[in-house]
Structure 1
Amino acid sequence: MTQTLSRVLDASLKLAVTLSCGAALAALSLGSAVAAAEGPAKARAPAEPVIAGGKPQRLIVNPTEDPSRGFAVTWRMEAGAGKGLVEYAEATPGPAFEDAVQTVMADSEVIQYVPRNGPPVSAIAHSAVIDGLKPETLYVYRVGDGRAFSAWRQVRTAAASAKPFTFLYFGDVQNEVESHGSRVMRMARRLAPEAALALYAGDLINRSDADREWAEWFDMAPDLHAELLTLPSPGNHEYGPPVDGRQPLAPQWRQQFTLPRNGPAGVSALSETVYQVDYQGVRFLSLDADAISDSPELADATLKWLEARLTDNPNVWTVVFLHYPIFSTAKGRDNAELRAALEPVLQKHGVDLVLQGHDHTYARGRKGGPVYVVSVAGPKQYVGGDREWASRKATGVQLFQAISVDGGELTYKAYTATGALYDAFRLSKLARGKPARLIDLAPKSAELDLKRAP
C-alpha cells in the first residue's frame, strides 16, 4: 500500500510542476482581458484534490491491558470517509521504516446525533488495537482511510518489567479548555519531555455532549494525546442530565477513547471508565466516582473489583485516580459516603497515591497510608475550604504534576502553569506491601492562596 501511495504522490508532483510551468498560457486561453487586467501571470500551486472525509481528527493513543505488547489508537473523520486503518512499523532514524509497514483495519462507528449544545454531529469514529508488539520499542504509526492520513506519530511500548519512567497528572481542565488549558499542557511537555503516560482526573470538558468542547480538548494538546498513552477517568461533567433516573455518560467517551475493558465483569455501565493498567512496576486503577456516588449497584461492583485488583497486585507501587476527592478541599464540599466506602479499602491494601480533581483547588496530604492529592489544571478556581488534613495547599493557580518512579522511590513534583515548582515530595519503600516513607521536598516559598472566587 505504501509503494502504491508513493507512485500516486510522484504522479501528483509531476502534474503540479506541469501546471505551474504552464500557468501563464492557461490564463491567456481563459481570457486575455482578465490576464491583462491582473498584470503578469503568477505561478500558482495546483488545487488539492477534494477527499471525502478530510484529514483524521482527534487522534489519541490509549494503553492496552498490557502496554508492553501494544497500544490502542482512536480518531475521527468527517462523514464520507472510507474504512479506517492504521499503518505502523518499528521506528528507524530515517524513512526506511516505510518498507516494513504493517496495516490494521479499524472498528468504525457512524456518529449521528443532536447534542444539547451545538449543531448536529455527523462523523465516523475509528478505533484499533495494535498488539503483538515488542516491549520497550519505539513504533511509528499513522491513521487514515487509505486516501487521507495523519502525520507519522511515535509511541514507545512499555518495558516488560519494572523500570524507571515518568507520568503526568492533570486535575480538571473543564472550562476555556484550549485557550487556558493548552499552556499547562505545553509547559508539562517542556518540563517533562520524557513522560510516557498522561492521567486525567475527570471533568475534561464542561458540558458532557458539547462536541465543540471535545474538539477543544483534543486541540489543546494534539502532540501529547497522539504520542503519550492517555488514561482518563470520568468526572461529573462527562455525565449528562438524568434519563430514566440515571445520568448517561457522554457519547463521545467511548467514541473517542479505546481503554482496557478489564473493569467489573458484566457491568457494561463501567466499561472503559473503571479499568486497570500495569506499567513498569506501577498498577494504575481508574475509578468512576460519579457511578459510585449515584448507584449502590455500581458502587458495590466497583468495590468488589477494587478489592480483587488490590489483593492480586504484584507491583511495588499502586496509584488510584478518580474525580471526587476522598478528602475535599473546596468550601462547602464533602464526599462523606465516598470516603466511608473507599478509604478503608485504600488503607487496607497499602495504596500509595490517590490522584483526584473536582474541587478546583490544590491540596496534598497524607491520611493513614495513601498520599491524597487534589489538583486543577484549568482556569476555573474555587475558594479553599477545610483543608486541615493537607500539608500543602493552594487556590487560584493552575497546576500539573510530573511523577517519576524508579525502583523503590516515587518522586512527585507539582508545577504551576508558568513552570514554577510549587510542591514536591518523595515516597521511599523497600518492597510491595511495606509502608512508604515520605520525604517532603516542597520549596520554602509562601502559600499560593489567591482567594479567587468560583
Structure 2
Amino acid sequence: MKRFLSFITALAMVLFIFTVQSPIFADSNSTGATSLPDHITLTWTQDPTTTQTITWRTDTTVNLGQVQYGKDPSLKDAKIVDATVQKFSSDLGDMNIHSATMTNLDPGTTYYYRVGYGNNLNSIYSFTTEAKDTNSFKFLIFGDSQSGIATDPQYGPWKATIHNAYSTNKDSKFFVNVGDLVEIGQLYTHWNNWFDAAKGVIDAIPEMPVEGNHETYQSSNYDSGKPKDFVSQFPVPQNGPDSLKGQVYSFDYGNAHIVMLDSQEDEEETVSGDILEAQKAWLDKDLKSTNKTWKIVFFHKTPYYNKATRSNEQIKAAFQPIFDKYHIDVVFNGHDHGYSRTYPIKNDQYVKNPADGTVYVVTGRSGNKYYPDLSQKVWDAFFYDPQDQPNYIVATINGNTLTIKAVKQDGTPIDTYSITKNPDGTETDSPQTVIPTKYNATMVTIYGNMLQQPFMPSNPKQINGKWYVPARAFMQYLGSNVDWNANGTISITYGKTQANLNISSTKAQLNSKTLAIPDAIVLNNGLTWISADDLKALFGFSYKYDSNTNMLMFVK
C-alpha cells in the first residue's frame, strides 16, 4: 500500500508540473484550440493583386486578433490590421475563428506576417501577391483528400501529397481542393487532422476550395445538411448566388477566369432547395462578363465519370449548355478518385479540337480513399486508376498555353496535356486529339462502358423503328438477371425492382402492380430482346443514339 501511495503521489507531482509548465496543455480544450493561433489559412476574398485574406482559430478566451505584416522579414515597422472574430460551434465544442484582409498591397510583392494578439503570436510566415498583368503562373489541384472512414480521421496520405506537391512546385501561386476535403464535414476531428497535415503550405499559398458532398455530412451516419464547417473556415469571394455564398464563387488570376460551383443537389436540396437552378442564371451572367483568355471551372461531382454505375446526368444537364455557350476550356472534377481526361466535348458529343469543346478532367485522389470499380469510359482520351498511391495535378498557364500535368504522390508522371490558343483563333493540343472512328456495327454502352462480344451476343438493332438490346446480357452486366418462368412469363430483377412480362404484351407487372409499357418483349434468333423505351419505363434508364460514333448509350 505504501508503494502504491508513493506511486500516486509521484504521478500527481508529474501531472502538476506538466500542467503548470505547459501553456498548451493549460489552455487547450476538447476542440484542440488554444490561446495560440493555429489552422492559419490563406484565401482570397478580393483582388489577388492587392489583397490577402488570412484566417485562423483560437479557443474562446481570445476575443481579439490582429495581423502584423510588412515587407521586412523581421516585421520591423509592421502594419497592423484587426481581425473579425466569430464564435464557431463544432461537435467538439466552441472556438473562435479570426479573419482579416490586408488591402492596398503592392502587386508581385512578398509580404511577411504573423497573427494573434498580445503575447499569443504565431511564427512569421510569408505570402506573395499576384504580379500585375501576369499571364504566366502555376497552381496545384488536389482531388479528394478525405480519410475514407468516418471513425478513422487518417490524413497522413493527404499530408504527404500536399507537401510533396508543394516542395517540388514552390513557384505555385495557389491551390485548389476539388471537394471532399474531409470525410465528415461536421466532425471536427477530421478538420483538425486535415489542417495539421496542410500546415506549411496552406499558410504560404492561398487555398481556393470547392465544396464536396462529404462537406455536407453532419455525423458518422452520413446524414447531410448545410456545409457550415466548410463555409466558416474558408473565406472566399462573396460573389455567388445569394443562397450559396461561400459555396459558389469566381475570381480572376492573371489571364484566367476561375469558377467554383456546388454540385451537391442530392445532399442540399432539403435545406437549400434546387441549388442547380439557383446557379444557372448566376453562371451565365458570370461567364458573360469575363474577357479573360482562359475560362476554367471546378466542381465536385463528375459529368464524365470513372465509377462503374454512378452518373451525374442532372448536373451535366444543368451546367453543360452554359459551358458550351461560353466555351469553357477545362472543367475539373473530383468525387470518383480516378484520373481521367476526356476528348473535347460539346453538346455531350466528342469534337476533334479543343477550340470546339470542353475537356473534362477527373482529378484523382490526394488522400486515403480509393475505389475498386473504376474504368476507362468511351469518352476518355486518357485514364489512370490511382490505387497504388495518391496523386496531384500541376496546372501551368504560360500566355496562350495551358498545361495540365498529373503526377503521382512520389513524383512519377501520369499524364501531360496542353492546349494552345493560336492568334488566328484556332487551337492546338498536345497530344493531339484523335477521336474514335465511327463503328460499323451499332455498339451499346452502359454508364460509358462498351459491351462487346462474347458478353454481348448480338449488337443492338432496330425493330419497327425502335431500338432493342438483348435483355439477358444487358441485365447481367448490371448484376441482375432475366429468367423464364414455368408459366411462360419472363422475370427481370434489378435491385429492388422486379418486372414480370409476357411475350407480345405491352403490359407488365412491376413489383406486383400492373404497368403499361411502350413495347412488347420480342423473341428473335434465340434471344430475348427488350426495347430501350421499355428499359426506361421499367427501370429508369435514359438513352440516346449517337450517330457520330454509332453507339446506343444508356445511363441512369
Question: How big is the shift at 1:56?
Answer: 0.7
Cα distance change, pair 162–421 in 1 and its aligned pair in 2 (3 A)? same
What residue is the counterpart of 1:373 in the other structure? 361
What residue is the counterpart of 1:388 in the other structure? 378
Residue among 408, 412, 419 paired with 2:404: 412
CA distance in 2, matches of 1:211, 1:48: 24
What residue is the counterpart of 1:198 in the other structure? 175
What residue is the counterpart of 1:154 in the other structure? 126
Q: Deviations over 1:41-78 (max 9, x none)?
A: xxxxx957788543211110001331111011110012
Matched letter for residue 414 of structure 2 = Y
What residue is the counterpart of 1:282 in the other structure? 256
Residue among 225, 228, 234 paired with 2:211: 234
What residue is the counterpart of 2:340 in the other structure? 363
What residue is the counterpart of 1:170 in the other structure? 142
Q: Deviations over 1:149-198 (max 9, x none)?
A: 11111111112323211000001011155211111112101221110110
What residue is the counterpart of 2:245 in the other structure? 271
Cα distance change, pair 47–192 in 1 and its aligned pair in 2 (3 A)? same
Q: Which runs of 5+ in 1 are unaligned?
A: 1-45, 443-454
Q: Deviations over 1:235-278 (max 9, x none)?
A: 00000359xxx9422332232111110112xx23x111101110
Cα distance change, pair 271–180 in 1 and its aligned pair in 2 (3 A)? same
Matched letter for residue 54 of structure 2 = V
Matches of residues 195-344 of structure 1 in structure 2 within 5 Å? 195-240=172-217, 247-264=224-241, 267-268=242-243, 270-291=244-265, 294-295=268-269, 297-344=274-321
What residue is the counterpart of 1:131 in the other structure? 103
Q: Deviations over 1:304-328 (max 9, x none)?
A: 1111111111210011001001111
Matched letter for residue 394 of structure 2 = A
What residue is the counterpart of 2:539 in the other structure? none
SS at match of 1:132: coil
Could you state the TM-score of these two structures normalised by the residue count of structure 2?
Answer: 0.65
Matched letter for residue 86 of structure 1 = V
What residue is the counterpart of 2:498 in the other structure? none
SS at match of 1:231: coil
Size of the alignment, in residue pairs?
A: 381
Matched letter for residue 80 of structure 1 = T
Is residue 82–residue 145 contact of structure 1 (8 Å, CA) maintained in 2?
Answer: no
| Correspondence 1:400 to 2:392 | yes
Is residue 375–residue 383 contact of structure 2 (8 Å, CA) maintained in 1?
Answer: no
Residue among 57, 63, 78 paired with 1:76: 57
What residue is the counterpart of 2:68 in the other structure? 87
Is residue 418–residue 430 contact of structure 2 (8 Å, CA) maintained in 1?
Answer: yes
Residue among 427, 436, 440 paired with 1:436: 427
Is residue 208–residue 249 contact of structure 1 (8 Å, CA) maintained in 2?
Answer: no
Is residue 330–residue 386 contact of structure 1 (8 Å, CA) maintained in 2?
Answer: no
Cα distance change, pair 105–330 in 1 and its aligned pair in 2 (3 A)? same
Matched letter for residue 112 of structure 1 = S
Indicate the RMSD between aligned Cα atoms, in angstroms.
Answer: 2.3
Cα distance change, pair 292–69 in 1 and its aligned pair in 2 (3 A)? farther
Q: Deviations over 1:189-225 (max 9, x none)?
A: 1221110110111000001111010011111121110
Which structure has more RCO (C-alpha within 8 Å, separation ≥ 6)? Answer: 1
CA distance in 2, matches of 1:435, 1:222: 43
What residue is the counterpart of 2:36 in the other structure? 55
Question: How big is the shift at 1:290?
Answer: 0.6
Matched letter for residue 260 of structure 2 = S
Question: How big is the shift at 1:384?
Answer: 0.9
Could you state the TM-score of these two structures normalised by the residue count of structure 1?
Answer: 0.79
Q: Mean alpha-carbon deviation: is it higher for 274-283 or for 170-179?
A: 170-179
Cα distance change, pair 241–72 in 1 and its aligned pair in 2 (3 A)? same
SS at match of 2:40: strand
What residue is the counterpart of 1:18 in the other structure? none
CA distance in 2, matches of 1:177, 1:65: 33
Matches of residues 9-24 of structure 1 in structure 2 within 5 Å? none
What residue is the counterpart of 2:45 in the other structure? 64
CA distance in 1, matches of 2:368, 2:89: 32
Q: Which runs of 5+ in 2 are unaligned?
A: 1-19, 28-33, 148-152, 347-356, 434-556
If you compute each CA radius of gyration, which structure gives the higher value, 1 or 2?
2
SS at match of 1:185: helix
CA distance in 2, matches of 1:338, 1:273: 16
Is residue 318–residue 352 contact of structure 1 (8 Å, CA) maintained in 2?
Answer: yes
Runs of 4+ in 1 over 6 A off after TM superposition: 48-51
SS at match of 2:341: strand
Question: How big is the shift at 1:340?
Answer: 1.2
CA distance in 1, matches of 2:80, 2:116: 11
Q: Deviations over 1:5-35 (max 9, x none)?
A: xxxxxxxxxxxxxxxxxxxxxxxxxxxxxxx
Q: Mean alpha-carbon deviation: is it higher for 376-385 or for 349-358?
A: 376-385
Cα distance change, pair 372–125 in 1 and its aligned pair in 2 (3 A)? same
Question: How big is the shift at 1:434?
Answer: 4.5
Q: Mean alpha-carbon deviation: is it higher for 335-344 or for 196-205?
A: 335-344
Is residue 55–residue 149 contact of structure 1 (8 Å, CA) maintained in 2?
Answer: yes
Question: How big is the shift at 1:381?
Answer: 1.1
Is residue 82–residue 146 contact of structure 1 (8 Å, CA) maintained in 2?
Answer: no
CA distance in 1, matches of 2:154, 2:226: 20
SS at match of 1:424: strand
Question: How big is the shift at 1:292?
Answer: 8.1
Is residue 73–residue 129 contact of structure 1 (8 Å, CA) maintained in 2?
Answer: yes
CA distance in 2, matches of 1:378, 1:48: 33
